A and B are shown apart, each in its own frame.
Chain A
């Protein structure tokens, strides 16, 4: 913290002062943590059964992959995640568009929606478990609820944020209502809509884990971790944490890629003339 402010000049100066190449700096902390972990096991600093050796986590990972257990759990979780996400996001898209386009619809349903939205997501699970049981139906319903809210909010805000001048141009060009929707309103709102869909994907993954912890039935990565916890298999739990992180990261990455691909026209549009 010696050279305090991030301006380009001080940044490069401090980079020169320290020997460690910048690309490697990010690895220092994780490597140090793993060495510490390894040392704690090697030199017996703690006798807790929870302190599993690094090698055991690796062995568990290999075993989970080889036996196909990981594949079964992960495919069950991902199937639920995507089914719930698809359902919630598409209903949310329609509902959000209706809220954005029609003032009457907004005045009728908006206040109710904004009130229900306040209920913490996971508080729905006990109710859903009574209404839909503990199986996949209940989980998919819950996941679609998790995906529904961010999509509605962002779609609504995106549509309300369409600049008035664009709509005036559409009026001058005598677009039909349908044309206005498809050629002006939705394209103009698309960044916000995609932001909502992206958020929904993240929420749905979080909700998948929650659903698997609380609606205990069947297989899934959440169930794998619950098994590990109940049996004090720390190696399995750590493996589960890593898989959950990787899946979240991958979903996020795919969503960003699709988003930038689909929104690429926005950057080009002016240059194309």
Chain B
């Protein structure tokens, strides 16, 4: 690349638009560039993989500390074939689903109540704020004493992790509905229910959805933590178990699965977002 291109000043695409969209549009127009970008993504991971392989192959690093990539691959395949991987994945997925459903329901209810009723907000919001200041991990020892280390602990922690961002974003989203929308609704003599279903909720949809995305990300993070600390099954447990036996191939395999699931969840939500918020058309 020419020297004067290397400090890539975001080029004056369309001035106001988000830069990423500019980039994407350009790729569509010039298929060659798209190809180049795709090819350029590979040297770094391949080099890392090669370095890892060479280091393991010539035993520069003992396999207890860094197993070879093919060993990790074998372990992954074995875990899959024996069904162990699927079983643990299912346990983890069930926990996230349960905890997230609880957090979603609670967070939406709390957020809507705080957003719609100033009285409720005045009484509850400060306590909610104080409660959310303590991170999930801060509650962990307290909850372990109170409910033990069974399934309830995991569900409660995951629910808490997803509840806070969902409630906060729902509350702010409803509060930030522009007053003029509500004035229009008054002029049109909307009933209270019409006002909620046709004005307030649609106007707050984007921030609420954002909260839900954060909520799911946090739920996944909390699941891994709680499974690492107190569990006898699940993906996090596989990591701990492998670590205890000094089977790093198993640890790395499980870490890869954890990353892949996180990635899949994120992509799934992005897809759902396009479907859910499709009606939002840009301007006139």
Chain B residues, CB < 8 A from A30: 126-127, 130
A25 touching B45, Cβ below 8 Å: no
User: Closest approach, in angstroms, between the C-beta of A168 and any C-beta of chain B?
Assistant: 6
Chain B residues, CB < 8 A from A111: 41, 44-45
A248 touching B142, Cβ below 8 Å: no
B9 touching A167, Cβ below 8 Å: yes
B259 within 8 A of A: yes
A122 touching B221, Cβ below 8 Å: yes
Query: Which residue numbers of B lie inside 8 Å of A, CB to CB?
Result: 1, 5-13, 15-16, 18-20, 36-37, 40-41, 43-45, 48, 64-66, 113, 115-120, 122-127, 130, 133-142, 144-146, 174-175, 179, 182, 192, 195-196, 200, 220-221, 224-225, 228-229, 236, 239-240, 242-243, 246, 248, 251-252, 254-256, 258-260, 262-263, 266
Chain A residues, CB < 8 A from B221: 120-122
Q: Please, which residue of chain B has its CB at the minimum distance from the CB of A209?
A: B137
A44 within 8 A of B: no
B7 touching A101, Cβ below 8 Å: yes
B12 touching A168, Cβ below 8 Å: yes
B116 touching A6, Cβ below 8 Å: yes
Q: What CA separation (Å) do A54 and B30 show in the bound complex?
A: 69
Also in contact, A163 and B15, with CB within 8 A (given A213-B140, A245-B133): yes
Q: What CA separation (Å) do A273 and B90 show in the bound complex?
A: 62
B266 touching A5, Cβ below 8 Å: no
A107 touching B37, Cβ below 8 Å: yes
Q: What CA separation (Å) do A240 and B145 show in the bound complex?
A: 13
Chain A residues, CB < 8 A from B9: 167, 180, 185
Selected contact of A108 from candidates B44, B65, B115, B141, CB within 8 Å: B44
Q: What CA separation (Å) do A122 and B161 show in the bound complex?
A: 15
Q: Which of A64-72, A85-93, A224-232, A258-266 contacts B (4 or more CB under 8 A)?
A: A224-232
Chain B residues, CB < 8 A from A148: none
Interface residues on A, range: 35 or more
Chain B residues, CB < 8 A from A124: 255
Q: What CA separation (Å) do A5 and B12 show in the bound complex?
A: 44
Q: What CA separation (Å) do A195 and B55 show in the bound complex?
A: 39
Chain B residues, CB < 8 A from A225: 138, 141
Instruction: Give 15 A-B contacts (CB < 8 Å), ordered by A residue.
Output: A5-B192, A6-B118, A8-B179, A25-B122, A29-B123, A107-B40, A112-B41, A112-B45, A121-B221, A122-B225, A126-B240, A163-B16, A167-B9, A241-B142, A244-B134
Chain B residues, CB < 8 A from A270: none
A58 within 8 A of B: no
Chain A residues, CB < 8 A from B134: 241, 244-245, 248
Q: Please, which residue of chain A has its CB at the minimum distance from the CB of B177?
A: A6
Selected contact of A7 from candidates B182, B196, B225, B242, CB within 8 Å: B182
B44 touching A180, Cβ below 8 Å: no
Also in contact, A165 and B145, with CB within 8 A (given A177-B7, A245-B133): no
B135 touching A209, Cβ below 8 Å: yes
User: Closest approach, in angstroms, between the C-beta of A125 and any C-beta of chain B?
Assistant: 7
